[in-house]
Structure 1
Amino acid sequence: MNLSPNEVWTQRYTDFLKDQDARAARIVYQRDRARVIHSASFRRLQAKTQIFGLSESDFYRTRLTHSMEVAQIGSGLVEQLITLGTEQVGKEADYIQWLPSVYLIEAICLAHDLGHPPFGHGGEVALNYMMRHFGGFEGNAQTLRILAKLGEYTPENGLDLSRRTTLGVMKYPALYDEVVANNEDYQRQLLEPEVNDFRTLQMHRWNPPKSLYSEEKAVFDWVLAPFSDSDRALFTELSHCEGACHNRTKYKALDTTIMELADDIAYGIHDLEDAVAMKMVTRDQWQQEVMEHASFKQFALWDGEMTERLFSGSSRARKHAISKMVGIMVESIYMDENPAFEHPLLRYQARLQTGQSAVLELLKTFVFKNVITIPEVKGMEYKGQLIVLELFKSLRANPSTLLPSSTYLKYQSASNEQAQQRVISDYIAGMTNTYASRLYAKLFTPTQGSVFDVL
């Protein structure tokens, strides 16, 4: 089938397999967004943490509210790029025709965390350890797996989103096995005997490579098919990593750059709001580590009034400060070009102006240092890791008795051991924090659990 340039990107994998015509973009991208919103994976994000525990307060963000905020910021970034590209009367910037529609960018942003496992990055590391000999685990890879296989919209092809939406969600266009094969230190780790007491496991050594699973290679190849051989080679090229780390890809597609900027803004600014509201950061810390930092002094994007509002104790004033910070970032976006690529979806790259980019990195560092990595938060992450590890160990040893009947049927029909282990991994990755905790209590706490429990 010969597809037009637009139909290439609105084509779904099912269309490709059945040699069917693709539909119009205005229909396809709207339905992509709808499929994400109505998926079970998206609903489960309401019970997966962003930073704080779900029981801390109804106010603080979950992965669901985070994803909604990323989508709102993403659409704002696109609108700003449209404004910049149409400012000159009678002349429109060349990139305008390649910008995603609001439906498309919202679909990508809403889907970007679907593969997020219970207990955040800790759960991701735990699952990667248990899957280290069976294709690994990685959050973005799990997102693609939901889109391509696990989502409920089609029997075999998951949510079956369009090619362009799927491309936009793929943050790391490389296969897990290929990335791991290039890491000699990690290869030596894989020869180590399995740890029996997970409390002795050095979790930091099992950070997963940013990648995609080999099980989704066919979909990965389909997504990249419209690009030239040279574009595909450069897009999937791995950069060298110094030290004990995995190599990763250097480039992202246009839509992905917009989504990642939106994600970074939400992380650096909205998560800051939660930290201030919970009094996890003080005004003195903010003043010393942000306002008086050399990077901020160089660009000075706001004055002391922002600090007054942020730490006033008034939720209204704090929200106003956060909104103004987000607006400053959104209004600084511009379109860059990477001449190394031929195709516009790879050549055009959304970026923030130098000052705003530097200050955003400063805000992200501030949140990471004073919130993400403090013992109180890391302790809860560690507890979640142990829950995931123990659940996986028990399900692996007793699949016929502990897996739900529908999941066990998938396990039985799996073609090999790796596929069987992937079934268990998919089951645990799809759990919410609440579900995983309740299942753990049911299995391992003597006074908890009943045959009448509905998990």
Structure 2
Amino acid sequence: MEWNRLISDKRLGLEHYHDDKGGVRSDFERDYDRLVFSSPFRRLQNKTQVFPLPGSIFVHNRLTHSMEVACVGKSLAGEVALRLRKKYAAEPWADRLRDIAEIVAAACLAHDLGNPPFGHSGEKTIGAYFSEGAGMALRQHFTAEQWTDLTHFEGNANSFRTLVHQFNGRRPGGFAMTYSTLATIVKYPYPSAQAGPDGKFGFFTTEQPIFERIATELGILELEPGRYCRHPLVYLLEAADDICYQIMDIEDGHKLRIIDTDETIGLLLAFVDDDRQQHMRRVMETVADPNEKIAYLRSSIVGLLVQQCAMAFVDNEQLIMQGRFNGCLIDHIEPLARSGYRRCA
């Protein structure tokens, strides 16, 4: 794959119409803004992240989670872009790498749009409705592939559908997002028929031709018929999501008094070596509020993980561009930080 093809401002549904508006916003920033003002994005405020919405104690819901993932994703992608621009400084397209941060931020903002209430439990409930509930009566109206989509309902695929499907009364192309932003939200670039044991897939049968059109335009490698490798920026979205849900869940658990302060401090300090731990403890001694102590540690660890994931991406760029990279970026960070991350699971 090649960066000069992977970064494209072509818009779905508006392929033959491109108005160069100029101004201060790039097309990818317009993607981000379009999402912020959309109804599906606002609806995320009523979907829980991990803990039930408890009222006076403000823990994360899907809306705040998505906003934080977008912030972390933008920082992470910015670090990667800085390194790649130095590496490819002699290339005529090197300046286009600046757009990586905005693409990832927009994709992060959209990554949970299709998740049902109650997360994976909601997915299983929808699937069960069709596989063993009243929905079984509808089987005759669907192809075998479409039925598999329903009985193995996947929030990731529904996110892609939410963005690209022409719903009744709407314009072609759905949100009319850029090809690069759309490709970056597809963590599992294959249909339900090719899902692995985890049941994950990235698009429903009805949207498969749209994804294939995007993949062809961007030069995303097809590993076997119907199964593609990821757009490289998916790894940055995934890392931002991994960082946020793991670290923020610990902070939420502390706020809800599920985890006490000493245990929370121990979990977060485990990411760093003894010298860094001593420095962090000295800083915490200047803060009386336990929640602020944890907030300080959380921000420090998020920053650490951003730097290490950026290095992991750049170090493995060749494998990623060839579609041969295994695992996620978190799997490739330094052993101490990786061990700390796993302790938080």
Give me the TM-score of the superposition, normalised by structure 1: 0.59
1:277 partnered with 2:255: yes
What amino acid is aligned across from residue 78 of structure 2 in structure 1?
A: E
CA distance in 2, matches of 1:91, 1:7: 18
| Cα distance, 1:72 vs structure 2 | 0.7
> 2:136: which partner in 1?
none
Change (3 A) 1:357 1:46: farther
Pick from 287, 294, 303 the counterpart of residue 277 of structure 2. 303
1:257 partnered with 2:235: yes
Task: Classify the secondary structure of the residue corresponding to 1:233.
Answer: strand
CA distance in 1, matches of 2:320, 2:343: 34
> 1:61: which partner in 2?
60
- How many residues align structurally? 316
Task: Classify the secondary structure of the residue corresponding to 1:55.
Answer: coil
1:155 partnered with 2:145: no
| Cα distance, 1:178 vs structure 2 | 3.4
What amino acid is aligned across from residue 105 of structure 1 in structure 2?
A: V
| Cα distance, 1:169 vs structure 2 | 0.6
Q: Is the 8 A contact 1:173 1:235 kept in 2?
A: no
Pick from 194, 200, 203 the counterpart of residue 209 of structure 1. 200
1:112 partnered with 2:111: yes
What amino acid is aligned across from residue 337 of structure 1 in structure 2?
A: E
Mapping for residues 17-416 of structure 1, pairs under 5 Å: 19-21=16-18, 23=20, 27-85=26-84, 97-98=96-97, 100-132=99-131, 134=147, 135-136=149-150, 137-149=153-165, 154-179=170-195, 208-226=199-217, 231-233=221-223, 237=227, 251-282=229-260, 285=263, 302-303=276-277, 306=280, 309=284, 314-332=290-308, 333-334=310-311, 335=314, 336-339=316-319, 341=321, 351=329, 354-356=332-334, 359-360=337-338, 362-363=340-341, 365-368=342-345
Change (3 A) 1:153 1:97: farther
Change (3 A) 1:67 1:275: same
Q: Is the 8 A contact 2:111 2:185 kept in 1?
A: yes
Change (3 A) 1:102 1:82: closer
Change (3 A) 1:288 1:172: same
* Percentage of pairs with the same residue: 25
| Cα distance, 1:83 vs structure 2 | 3.9
| Cα distance, 1:221 vs structure 2 | 1.1
Q: Which structure's CA Rg is the greater one?
A: 1
> 1:188: which partner in 2?
none
CA distance in 1, matches of 2:219, 2:5: 17
Task: Classify the secondary structure of the residue corresponding to 1:171.
Answer: coil
Q: Is the 8 A contact 1:140 1:212 kept in 2?
A: yes
Change (3 A) 1:355 1:225: closer
| Cα distance, 1:171 vs structure 2 | 0.6
CA distance in 2, matches of 1:96, 1:8: 11
What amino acid is aligned across from residue 217 of structure 2 in structure 1?
A: P
For the aligned residues, what is the CA RMSD?
A: 4.0
Q: What stretches of structure 1 of length at least 5 have no aligned partner?
A: 184-206, 238-248, 369-455
CA distance in 1, matches of 2:169, 2:101: 22
CA distance in 2, matches of 1:367, 1:235: 38
Change (3 A) 1:50 1:8: closer
Q: Bigger CA drift: 111-120 or 300-309? A: 300-309
Q: Is the 8 A contact 1:151 1:159 kept in 2?
A: no
CA distance in 2, matches of 1:303, 1:106: 31
Q: Is the 8 A contact 2:103 2:181 kept in 1?
A: yes
Q: Bigger CA drift: 23-32 or 35-44? A: 23-32
Q: Is the 8 A contact 1:125 1:208 kept in 2?
A: no
Q: Is the 8 A contact 1:275 1:281 kept in 2?
A: yes
Q: What stretches of structure 2 of length at least 5 have no aligned partner?
A: 132-138, 140-146
